[in-house]
Amino acid sequence: MYKVLKRKQKIMLKQKYFKRNGGLLLQQHLSSNEGNVEKIKLFTSKEMEKATDYYNENRILGQGGQGTVYKGMLIDGSIVAIKKSKMVEGKKFDEKKVEQFINEVIILSQINHRNVVKLLGCCLEAEVPLLVYEFIPNGTLYDLIRNQNEEIPLTWEMRLRIAIEIANALFYLHSAASTPIYHRDIKSSNILLDDKYRAKVSDFGTSRSVALEQTHLTTRVQGTFGYMDPEYFRSSQLTEKSDVYSFGVVLIELLTSQKPISAEQSEPVRSLISYFLDSMQENSLFNIIDPMVVKDGPEQEIIVVALLAKRCLNLNGKKRPTMKQVAMELELIKASGGNVIEDYGDEESEIDDMIHSWETNPSSSMSGTITTDSVTFPLNSSF
Ligand SMILES: Nc1ncnc2c1ncn2[C@@H]1O[C@H](COP(=O)(O)OP(=O)(O)OP(=O)(O)O)[C@@H](O)[C@H]1O
């Protein structure tokens, strides 16, 4: 009797968790064809415990705002990454996080792209919901940029290829999926790298699927400081161009190997974006480019990529290129070795100026400070 009662209690608890974790909401969405039901496997809590060795601390791959990610092995031997959502703050269960979680499942179940991380399934009967992804072994782009070593140098060729892969994934999200998907949190720490250092866009908790007729959507502003489109921040109007802006920031990171925002205590907050744009304005772009990139990459390619980044960062979203344009231009730059100046119209003279200033004084280093609208940057400082 006792055993039967215990088993019944266990089943009831799992049902309670399933409901609380948004199981019914997910079923509703998936059955109304917003996702691809067949692709999403529902794992049991036992399978998850076994896979992660009961959420062993040694298995932790990383921690973020949404929860903890564990490395796991499924019964069939496949290696996976399991994200355990952080749902309970104190004693309160966070409904918003459930929404984000279900959102990620629905969005990722519609996507099949080689540069987007694959969601294999989820588990809703555990105390907190869990997401199961393919395991991506080489960490994040953020870490790769910062922890470069001789073993895996981040060459210009790799940087350009990674930029193209991210651009292609975003172009796909914006256009090829049945309804456009805006990621809303593009940043180097959300770009994972696989065994061949191919980019995989991840973290779709805050992304939005937007019906075609809804070209402008008013939303609660989401994103990361330093990458967020200032126009979206002001207006709350979400468009595809917000992802273009954040992508522009990642391009600058790839060019300079610097963090977008560095706010160390006792120092003023520094914005890499303003510094970068000022450097371009003053024809001193090569002072801010990572010396390794300067050494390794053809200068014309670097310059046209920098010009593209500048266009992505235009304060007026309408003037930014689409991700389709960005992806195509980057492919073209790679294929032509930067000899695409004739396609750049007005910017041709700007490129000429930059090449001229670089050629006449390649090792010029600025001194003093430059002032932008709001921030003063000591030059020659490493961000
Ligand atoms: N599929 C995966 N394969 C391997 N490692 C992963 C995978 N997904 C995430 N990670 C690791 O887990 C860390 C945390 O990832 P996650 O995307 O959950 O952060 P997050 O909680 O979304 O952070 P935030 O929302 O604050 O940006 C990543 O930095 C990465 O190191």
Q: Is the beta carbon of 189 within 6 A of some atom in ligand 1? A: yes
Cβ atoms 322, 370 nearer than 8 A: no
- Say if ligand 1 is within 6 A of residue 62 CB: yes
Instruction: Kindly state if the Cβ of 104 falls inside 6 Å of ligand 1.
Output: no
Q: Give helix 299-312 / helix 272-281 axis angle, nearest 10°.
A: 120
Pocket test for ligand 1, best of 203, 224, 250 (most atoms within 8 A of CB): 203
Place of tokens 């529902």: 42
- Contact 139 CB / ligand 1 (< 6 Å): yes
Burial of 188 (0-12, 13-18, 19+ CB in 10 A): buried
For residue 187, the ligand 1 atom closest to its alpha carbon is 27
For ligand 1, whether the C-beta of 117 sits within 6 Å is yes
Q: How far is the CA of 202 from the centre of ligand 1 (A)?
A: 8
Q: Tell me if 18 CB under 6 Å of ligand 1.
A: no
Closest residue by Cα to residue 290 from 143, 141, 152, 154: 154
Q: In the prediction, which pLDDT does 214 show?
A: 55
Q: Is 143 in the pocket of ligand 1 (CB under 6 A)?
A: no
Most confident of 90-104, 214-228, 259-273, 282-296: 282-296
Three-state secondary structure of 107-156: HHHCCCCCCECCEEEEECCCCCCEEEEECCCCCEHHHHHHCCCCCCCCCH
Unique residue bearing structure tokens 């990610």: 69
Q: How many other C-beta atoms are found inside a 10 Å radius of the C-beta of residue 337?
A: 10
Q: What is the mean pLDDT of the chain?
A: 81
- E strands of the chain, at which residues? 41-42, 60-63, 67-73, 79-85, 88-89, 92-93, 119-123, 130-134, 181-182, 191-193, 199-201, 208-209, 217-218, 237-238, 261-262, 270-271, 369-371, 376-378
DSSP state of 174: I
For the CA of 142, the closest atom of ligand 1 is 29
Contact between 141 and 197 under an 8 Å Cβ cutoff? The reply is no
With a 6 Å cutoff on the Cβ, whether 81 touches ligand 1 is: yes
Among the options 94, 143, 185, 352, which is catalytic? 185
**Residues 327-366 pLDDT 10s:** 999 999 998 876 665 455 555 566 556 555 555 554 443 3
> Which atom of ligand 1 has the smallest separation from the CA of 200?
1
Residue 56: exposure state from Cβ atoms within 10 A (0-12, 13-18, ≥19): exposed
What confidence score (pLDDT) does residue 381 get?
A: 31
pLDDT, tens only, 41-100: 889 999 999 999 999 999 999 987 778 999 999 999 999 999 998 766 555 667 777 777
The answer to whether the CB of 230 is under 6 A from ligand 1 is no
Q: Under a CB-based contact definition with an 8 Å cutoff, are residues 136 and 277 in contact?
A: no
What pLDDT does 207 receive?
73
Other CB atoms within 10 Å distance of the CB of residue 87: 21
What are 18-55's pLDDT values in tens digits? Answer: 777 777 777 777 676 655 555 678 899 999 999 999 99
Quote the ligand 1 centre to 377 CA distance (angstroms): 32
Strand partners, 134: 80
In angstroms, what is the span from residue 2 Cα to ligand 1's centroid? Answer: 42
Cα–ligand 1 centroid distance for 185 (angstroms): 12
Atom of ligand 1 nearest to the CA of 189: 29
Q: pLDDT tier at 237 (50, 70, 90 boundaries)?
A: confident
Q: What is the pTM of this model?
A: 0.82
Instruction: Output the CA 63–ligand 1 centroid distance in Å.
Output: 7
How far apart are alpha carbons 203 and 190 in whole angstroms?
Answer: 6
The pLDDT value recorded for residue 210 is 64
Q: What is the whole-number distance in angstroms between the Cα of residue 65 and the centre of ligand 1?
A: 9
What letter represents residue 368's amino acid? G
Q: Exposed/middle/buried for 335, CB within 10 Å: 0-12, 13-18, 19+?
A: exposed
Q: Tell me if residue 290 is catalytic.
A: no
Least Cα distance to 280 among 239, 252, 241 occurs for: 252
